[in-house]
C-alpha cells in the first residue's frame, strides 16, 4: 500500500523529468549540439545527485508550509498537483509544478483544519515573482560578459563550437543538479513527514537518511521521465518555448540554473549568514518561469525588440490560477479519499501537534528576553524542520 501511495509522487517526478529536462538540454539536443543519449545520461546522474545531496533545504520550507503527515494525504496532494499540471499544460498555460504543489498543500491544510503559516506562504509567493526577475538579471549580466569576452578573443568558429558544446554539457549538468536540488521537494516533499524509509548507514560511515532514500526514489522517477519522454518534448515543445542559438541557450540555461541553485543551496545560505548578508529562502521555484525570465533578460539587453510581453501576463495568470486550482482539486480529492475510500489523510494523533510543528520561528523573535526561549517551546518545535535552530545552535 505504501508503494501505491508513493506512485503519485513518482508520477509527478516522471512528468518533471519529461518536461523540465527540455529546459536544460532542449536547444542543445534540438540543434544537435549534444546527442540526446549524452544529455539524458548527464541530466539523470546530476538530477539524482542534486536531489540526494542538496534536496533537503527546499523540502524544509514546503514542510513548514504544511506537514502532510499521512501517506494517503501525501498521495492525494501529489496526485492533485500532478493532475493540475497536466490539465494546465493541456490548456497551453505556463504552469509550475512548484505552484501546483504549494496550492495542493494549502488545500490539505484547509481540509484538515491545519494552520497555514502565512509568513512562509508569502515568502514562497515572493520567490515566484522574484525568480524570473533574478533569472533576467543573471541573463543580462552573463550576456554582457559573454559578449565582451567573445568580442575580445579571436577564436575560430569551429573551436568556439567545440567549447560551446562542452559548455552546454557542463551547464546542463549544473542545471540538472540545481533542478534535482530545488524541485525534488515538489516530487517527494509531501511524503517526507510520512516517509516509510528508515535511516541507513553505508559501510558504517556514510549516513543515508530515510529522506535521502525517498529523494533517490523521486529522482530516479525524474530520470525515467528524462529517458522516456523528454526527447519528444525537447524536439517539439521545447524548441517552441525558446528558439535560441547555442551560445544564447548556454547563457539562458546557466541563468536559470543559478536561480534554482541559489534557491536550493544550504551551503550558499550558510556563506551568506557567515557574511551577515540577507539570505534567500530555500524554496522550490519553477524552472520554466526562470527560463522565460532569462530569455526576457536576453531580449531586454539586445534592445527589447521582439519580446512578447503577453507572455508576462500569462506567467502572472499562472501564478494566480495554478495554486488555486491545485488547492481546490486537493480539497475535493481529500474529501473523497477520506470519506469514500476511508483512508487516513491526516494522522489524528499528530494533528494537534501540527500547529506547533509548523509554528513560525522567526529569528528576529529570538532574543534573550523572548518568551520563545522557554525550553518547552523549543522542545515542541520540529528541530529537523527548523533551519533557525542551526542559527541558535551552530554546530
CB of 312 to another protein, least distance (A): 23
CB of 288 to another protein, least distance (A): 23
Single out the segment in contact with another protein by CB under 8 A; choices: 7-15, 91-99, 197-205, 242-250: 242-250
Per-residue DSSP letter, 279: P
Q: Phi/psi of residue 208, each to 5°?
A: -130, 95
User: For another protein, which is the closer residue by CB, 159 or 236?
Assistant: 159
DSSP bridge partners of 206:
202
Single out the segment in contact with another protein by CB under 8 A; choices: 26-34, 75-83, 349-357, 368-376: 26-34
Per-residue DSSP letter, 207: E
Torsion of CA 303, 306, 312, 314, to 10 degrees: -170
Q: Phi/psi of residue 265, each to 5°?
A: -85, 115
User: For another protein, which is the closer residue by CB, 144 or 200?
Assistant: 144
CB of 173 to another protein, least distance (A): 13
Report the first-to-last Cα separation within the chain, whole angstroms: 39
Angle (CA) 144-246-176 rounded to 5° is 95
CB of 228 to another protein, least distance (A): 24
Binding mask 123-142 toward another protein (x if CB under 8 A, else -) reads --------------------
Residues numbered 32 to 71 that lie near another protein (CB under 8 A) are: 32-33
CB of 32 to another protein, least distance (A): 4
Single out the segment in contact with another protein by CB under 8 A; choices: 27-35, 92-100, 262-270, 320-328: 27-35
C-alpha 16: how far from chain center: 10
The helix or strand, by DSSP H or E, that contains position 312, with its residue range, turns out to be helix 310-339
All cell numbers assigned to 138: 543573471
CB of 246 to another protein, least distance (A): 6
Residues numbered 140 to 199 that lie near another protein (CB under 8 A) are: 143, 146-147, 150-151, 154-159, 161-162, 165-166, 169
Say if CB 139 and CB 86 are below 8 A apart: no
User: For another protein, which is the closer residue by CB, 158 or 202?
Assistant: 158
Q: Output the CA torsion sign for 380, 385, 386, 390.
A: positive
Q: Is residue 377 close enough to count as binding another protein by CB under 8 A? A: no
Angle (CA) 5-221-30 rounded to 5° is 145
User: For another protein, which is the closer residue by CB, 160 or 272?
Assistant: 160
Q: Residue from 113, 119, 236, 245 that binds another protein (CB under 8 A)?
A: 245
CB of 169 to another protein, least distance (A): 8
Q: Output the CA torsion sign for 308, 294, 142, 219.
A: negative
Q: By the criterion CB under 8 A, which residues form the site for another protein?
A: 31-33, 143, 146-147, 150-151, 154-159, 161-162, 165-166, 169, 245-248
Amino acid at each position: 500500500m505504501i508503494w501505491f501511495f508513493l506512485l503519485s509522487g513518482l508520477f509527478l517526478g516522471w512528468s518533471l523529468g519529461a518536461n523540465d529536462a527540455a529546459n536544460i538540454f532542449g536547444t542543445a539536443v534540438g540543434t544537435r549540439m549534444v546527442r540526446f543519449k549524452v544529455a539524458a545520461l548527464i541530466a539523470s546522474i546530476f538530477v539524482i545527485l542534486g536531489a540526494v545531496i542538496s534536496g533537503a533545504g527546499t523540502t524544509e520550507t514546503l514542510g513548514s508550509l504544511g506537514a502532510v503527515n499521512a501517506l494517503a494525504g501525501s498521495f492525494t496532494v501529489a496526485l492533485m498537483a500532478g493532475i493540475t499540471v497536466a490539465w494546465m499544460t493541456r490548456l497551453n498555460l505556463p504552469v509550475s509544478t512548484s505552484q501546483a504543489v504549494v496550492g495542493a498543500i494549502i488545500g490539505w491544510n484547509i481540509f484538515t483544519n491545519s494552520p497555514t503559516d502565512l509568513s512562509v506562504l508569502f515568502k514562497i509567493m515572493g520567490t515566484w515573482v522574484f525568480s524570473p526577475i533574478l533569472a533576467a538579471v543573471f541573463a543580462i549580466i552573463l550576456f554582457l560578459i559573454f559578449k565582451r569576452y567573445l568580442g575580445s578573443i579571436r577564436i575560430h568558429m569551429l573551436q568556439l563550437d567545440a567549447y560551446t558544446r562542452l559548455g552546454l554539457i557542463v551547464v546542463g549538468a549544473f542545471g540538472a543538479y540545481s533542478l534535482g536540488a530545488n524541485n525534488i521537494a515538489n516530487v517527494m516533499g509531501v511524503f517526507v513527514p510520512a516517509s516509510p524509509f528508515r535511516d541507513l548507514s553505508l559501510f558504517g560511515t556514510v549516513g543515508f537518511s530515510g529522506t535521502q532514500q525517498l529523494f533517490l526514489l523521486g529522482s530516479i522517477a525524474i530520470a525515467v521521465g528524462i529517458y522516456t519522454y523528454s526527447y519528444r518534448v525537447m524536439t517539439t515543445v521545447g524548441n517552441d518555448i525558446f528558439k535560441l542559438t547555442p551560445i544564447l541557450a548556454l547563457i539562458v540555461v546557466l541563468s536559470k540554473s543559478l536561480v534554482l541553485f541559489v534557491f536550493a543551496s544550504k551551503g550558499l545560505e550558510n556563506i551568506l549568514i557567515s557574511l551577515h548578508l540577507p539570505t534567500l529562502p530555500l524554496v522550490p521555484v519553477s524552472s520554466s518561469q526562470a527560463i522565460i525570465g532569462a530569455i526576457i533578460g536576453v531580449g531586454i539587453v539586445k534592445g527589447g525588440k521582439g519580446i512578447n510581453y503577453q507572455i508576462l501576463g500569462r506567467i502572472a495568470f499562472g501564478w494566480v490560477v495554478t495554486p488555486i486550482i491545485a488547492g481546490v482539486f486537493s480539497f475535493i480529492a481529500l474529501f473523497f479519499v477520506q470519506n469514500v475510500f476511508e483512508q487516513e489523510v491526516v494522522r489524528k494523533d499528530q494533528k494537534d501537534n501540527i500547529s506547533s510543528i509548523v509554528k513560525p520561528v522567526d529569528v528576529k523573535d529570538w532574543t534573550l528576553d523572548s518568551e520563545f526561549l522557554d525550553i518547552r517551546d523549543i522542545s515542541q518545535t520540529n528541530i529537523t524542520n527548523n533551519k533557525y535552530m542551526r542559527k541558535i545552535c551552530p554546530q
